[in-house]
Amino acid sequence: SQTIHQWPATLVQPVGSPLSLECTVEGTSNPNLYWYRQAAGRGLQLLFYSVGIGQISSEVPQNLSASRPQDRQFILSSKKLLLSDSGFYLCAWSPGTNAQYFGPGTRLTVL
Amino acid sequence: SQKIEQNSEALNIQEGKTATLTCNYTNYSPAYLQWYRQDPGRGPVFLLLIRENEKEKRKERLKVTFDTTLKQSLFHITASQPADSATYLCALMKTSYDKVIFGPGTSLSVIP
């Protein structure tokens, strides 16, 4: 069966520091991969999605970037965090059957 | 631009009753519509998918309708239970490999 992992589960970072969040999927190949952010009490905001290695589409201009170095690995990065980057970051994968399957999320607090 | 709206207010219902949640969309023609459940501090969990050529889909106590003329989907939970309390999200998709656009969600509380 397929599983999706995200780490870390929680993170507290100072403004201006770098960020790296990792997501990996097991048990499938060539999945679509997604990064979302959810601010407190708000809906899901799609940040990036990828349909293959090295193929990244950005939805919202910001100081974040994403990379897909391997088929089942998706990384979200920032060189300098802003206060507004705080939120709940969710990685998801889709097998092409339209449903999306989410990871456990990373709670990021920027101070 | 595309816009998805769900019940603006939180929904409180008595245990055993049927909960009905609404999802309306504009400036979009989705081929697929999905419903997810999200508990606090957790990622959304996929519940049901309905295609544009399907009027209704059922899964146990859940029922989804999809009216492409009205640009609306209704999500029903029959014989609701306190364990059904959560936020429910609708999501739209144009093609199998397209991005998914999520609505803001509706908070449902089932009161014992």
State pLDDT tens for residues A18-66: 999 999 999 999 999 999 999 877 789 999 989 899 899 888 767 899 9
pLDDT reading at B31 higher than 90: no
Q: Is B105 an 8 Å CB contact of chain A? A: yes
pLDDT classification of B106: cutoffs 50, 70, 90? very high
| Tokens, residue B16 | 């055993």
A35, A90 Cβ separation under 8 angstroms? yes
Q: Classify B83 as helix, strand or coil.
A: helix
pLDDT score recorded for residue A2 = 87
Q: What is the pLDDT of residues B34-91, one digit of tens each?
A: 999 999 989 999 999 999 899 899 999 999 999 999 999 999 999 999 999 999 999 9
Q: Is B97 an 8 Å CB contact of chain A? A: yes
Interface of A with B (CB under 8 A): 32, 34, 36, 42-44, 46, 49, 51, 57, 59, 88, 90, 92, 94, 96-105, 107
Q: How far apart are CA B23 and CA B4, in angstroms?
A: 7
Q: What is the mean pLDDT of chain A?
A: 92
CA-to-CA separations, A51 to A72, A89, A109, B2, in angstroms, rounded: 11, 19, 29, 22
- Residue B8's identity, in one-letter code, is S
pLDDT reading at A3 higher than 70: yes
Could you tell me what percent of chain B has a pLDDT over 70? 97
